[in-house]
A and B are shown apart, each in its own frame.
Chain A
Amino acid sequence: MNCDKTDLAIKAMMKALPEHAPSAVFNAKVLMALGFSPKPSPLQRWLTAAAETAAVITAGALALAAFAASALIAANMHGLLHFVFAPRAALPQIKLCLLKLWLASLQIPAALGALKSLALLLPDSFLPQLAVSTVLAGFVILAVSKNTHGLSGGRI
Chain B
Amino acid sequence: MVNEKDYQLVQRCLQGDESAFEELLNANKNQIFTFILRMAQNAEDAEDITQDAFVKAFRKLGSYNPEYPFITWLFRIAHNTCVDFLRAKKPQSVSLDDADSPLDVPEDGPTVEENVAFAFQTEEAERLLASLPPLYREALLLQYREDLNCADIAGILQIPEGTVKVRLFRAKAAMKAKLERLERFAKR
User: Interface of A with B (CB < 8 Å)?
Assistant: 1, 5-7, 9-17, 19-23, 26-27, 29-31, 33-34, 36
CB distance A17 to B33 under 8 Å? no
Assembly CA distance A20 to B51 (angstroms): 15
Residues of chain B with a CB closer than 8 A to A20's CB: 30, 33-34, 37, 43
Q: How far is the CB of B166 from chain A (nearest CB, A)?
A: 15
Q: Which of B155-179 touch A at CB < 8 Å? A: 172, 175-176, 179
A5 to B30 alpha-carbon distance, docked (Å): 29
Interface size of B as a range = 35 or more
In the complex, chain A residues whose CB is within 8 Å of the CB of B84: none
Query: In the complex, A27→B51 CA distance in Å?
Result: 9
Q: Across the two chains, which residue of chain B brings its CB closest to A18? A: B34
- Asked if B154 is at the interface (CB within 8 A of a chain A CB), the reply is no
> Apart from A9-B116, A22-B51, A33-B51, what 10 extra A-B contacts exist at CB < 8 Å?
A10-B116, A13-B116, A14-B125, A17-B38, A22-B30, A22-B50, A27-B22, A30-B51, A30-B58, A33-B55
In the complex where A10-B144, A30-B25, A34-B21 touch, is A19 in contact with B31 (Cβ < 8 A)? yes
Query: Is B34 in contact with A34, judged by CB distance below 8 angstroms?
Result: no
